[in-house]
Amino acid sequence: MSNNKKNKFITKKIVGEAVAESFRKLNPKYMIKNPVMFVVEIGFFISLVLTFFPSIFGDTGNNLRTYNLIVALILFITVLFANFAEAVAEGRGKAQAESLKKTRKDTMAKLLDNKENVKVISASELKKGDIVLVETGELIPNDGEVIQGLASVDESAITGESAPVMKEAGGDFASVTGGTKVVSDWLKVRITATPGESFLDKMIALVEGASRQKTPNEIALNTVLVSLTLIFLIVLVALYPMAMYSGVKILISTLIALLVCLIPTTIGGLLSAIGIAGMDRVTRFNVIAMSGKAVEACGDVNTMILDKTGTITYGNRLAAEFIPVSDAKIEELIDYSVISSFKDDTPEGKSIVELGNKLGTKVEAAKYENLDFIEFTAQTRMSGVDLKDGRKVRKGAQDSIKKFVVEAGGEIPKDLDESLTKVSKLGGTPLVVCVDNKIYGVIYLKDTVKPGLVERFARLREMGIKTVMCTGDNPLTAETIAREAGVDEFIAEAKPEDKIEAIKKEQSEGKIVAMTGDGTNDAPALAQADVGLAMNSGTTAAKEAANMVDLDSDPTKILEVVEIGKQLLITRGALTTFSIANDVAKYFAIIPAIFTVEIPEMQILNVMRLSTPSSAILSALIFNAIIIPALIPIAMRGVKYKPMKSEMLLLRNMMVFGVGGMIVPFVGIKVIDLIITPLLRILNLS
């Protein structure tokens, strides 16, 4: 899956299939789902009929058949381009679905009965609640929960990540996905999904777009577009008799051209593609959205509820500072701390060595390779190393080290407790370091905030999103981490029900809330939140409660997902603005062309100085067609999003897509007019 991120924007295969699909979508039964483009298709059929029977509405004139045919062809191409935009968006999703389908195989399953007897059956015959045995090298036949065993599972078929993950019964890592592979040991799995309804099946359906439903915003915008189309249709129906009364003869094909140019065909042709591409961008980010509504809701998020451990912090307490006590020198404390940690493979031990190296320790690891390392145990609560000269270097909990020193005949430094209190007040964990009967100082271990989060939270603040950190730590520790990370608020000593209350409180104020989680205890809060992002490594309950699943199990990814959601809304709004602004230029092209012959004073509106009425109408119609494929890359990739206040964002998009939407058609229509005018003279249509 992650490899998809590196794929080309549009491949030759996608283009080829999209072209074929564009013609299949011409079926009126399908086109009626897009009312704006359906009107264009009806206009094409009427123009086509007028090509063969030009006088059916009383129209007369030289080369009228040729003119009607050109209008019909341009309208036909307009509909094809709109279908092509949607087909390209669908094609990218189908390409991903095909790669997923390759991982779905009709595997065999070892079904266990009540007496632990094994019966080999097809995975398609498994039922919810069945218990299966999966051993080394075998594929997990369907989604389930581990009820016994401990094994490494290769989830690269789903996540794209090559490193296997540990799965075991109980806890938050008991959920397994059908199609993944056990690479060591064995597991007993209780099946939690019926065939055809597994997580992989749902992914395929969602990625293909088979289960895509229009979002509320998309439906609302579609209603606006239909309303505008009806308004222009009524205006043009009234315009025809008014023109006849004024002595102005308007060809039916010209009237159709005017209607097509004035209704919002650009956004009408791209609307569906924008929605599909929004889900596609999230999927390529290795997040599966259960609906387009979930992606759209991300763009409206006002408040983000975040766990501390694993999301804001690494979850492992890492060395942050060396604090010497009594007459000990800091260089001695650093050296002995590093010596005691060379063979300590815990995150804490590795961080002590790393910090010591940063501070310039001269200790060389090679000199201490053959020494006896004393591992940490729950009984001793300390670790260290015995040097060749008989000295014993130890680091550990304050009580254990104090006892060790006193038993060796040493004394406790008077300023030790002061240093211990200092570390505790900062919300950290103190490790005391001693050599034989002398205490050299304290190592300050802290739950380290992930790099870059301060800037990312600042970016969210610029978007107007409030961040709330939830943690089970005491208020002092929570305040320290919250201040360091730059979150807006924090909830200390939080229980699962406290998260739900926090979400409900924000929602009662009319805010859209997002949160992440992976455990069964997070499921109620994930269900309550407007955007719930569950980790793929989490429990089945969490994934079923959420409306988005992160295949990489990176809790911080919700920050980027929110930006993708905002990008979707901005793209839709920007292209709608561009589409409506387009109509202004097309108005100045066609209206003068229709009335100038009979009403010369209307020439003042021909600000583009278009050559002839025919070239003006056809130029506007051609521009109206080609602007749809020209905007496909923007619809697919999305408008570039920069964090800023909504007022500034609106102003920026109005300037770029509003003003730009008026300028581009003026230039484009004039260029097309210059190109086609000689051709129209040859066809005697000028």
Q: Which of 130, 143, 154, 307 is catalytic?
A: 307
Structure tokens at 402: 């104090």
Residue 20 CB-density burial (10 A; 0-12 exposed, 13-18 middle, 19+ buried)? exposed
Q: How far is Cα 86 from Cα 79, in angstroms, rounded to an integer? A: 11
Is 381 annotated as ligand-binding? Answer: yes
HEC letters along 334-399: HHHHHHCCCCCCCHHHHHHHHHHHHCCCCCCHHHHCCCEEECCCCCCCEEEEECCCCCEEEEECHH
Q: To the nearest 10°, the Cα dihedral for 348, 354, 358, 364?
A: 120
Q: Is 345 a catalytic residue?
A: no
For residues 490 and 481, what is the distance between their CA atoms, to the nearest angstrom? 9
395 is in an annotated binding site: yes
Strand 144-154 to strand 165-168: parallel, antiparallel, or no bridges (unpaired)? Answer: antiparallel
User: Residue 302: CA atoms inside 13 Å, Cβ hemisphere, count?
Assistant: 9
Is 596 marked within a binding site?
no
35-52 and 252-262 helices, crossing angle to 10°: 160
Find out whether 399 is annotated in a ligand binding site.
no
Tell whether residue 379 is among the known ligand binding residues.
yes
Amino acid (1-letter code) at residue 173: F
Could you give the CA distance from residue 268 to residue 483 in angstroms, rounded to a whole number? 47
Sheet holding 429-435, edge to edge: 313-324, 438-449, 429-435, 392-396, 382-386, 372-374
Report the alpha-carbon distance of residue 64 to residue 67 in Å, rounded.
Answer: 5
Cα-to-chain-centroid distance, residue 101 = 22
What is the DSSP pairing of strand 429-435 with strand 392-396? antiparallel
Question: What type of residue sits at position 497?
Answer: E
* Cα separations in angstroms, 364 against 183, 329, 337, 353, 417: 38, 19, 13, 11, 31
Q: Say if residue 136 carries a ligand binding annotation.
A: no
Q: 522: annotated binding-site residue?
A: yes
Q: Has 383 been labeled as part of a binding site?
A: yes
Integer Cα distance of 235 and 448 in angstroms: 65
343 annotated as belonging to a binding site for a ligand? no
Q: Is 382 annotated as a binding residue?
A: yes
Is 103 marked within a binding site? no
Residues assigned a catalytic role: 307
Can you say which residues are annotated as belonging to the binding site?
Answer: 344, 348, 376-383, 395, 518, 522
Can you say which residues are annotated as belonging to the binding site for Mg(2+)?
Answer: 518, 522
Can you say which residues are annotated as belonging to the binding site for ATP?
Answer: 344, 348, 376-383, 395
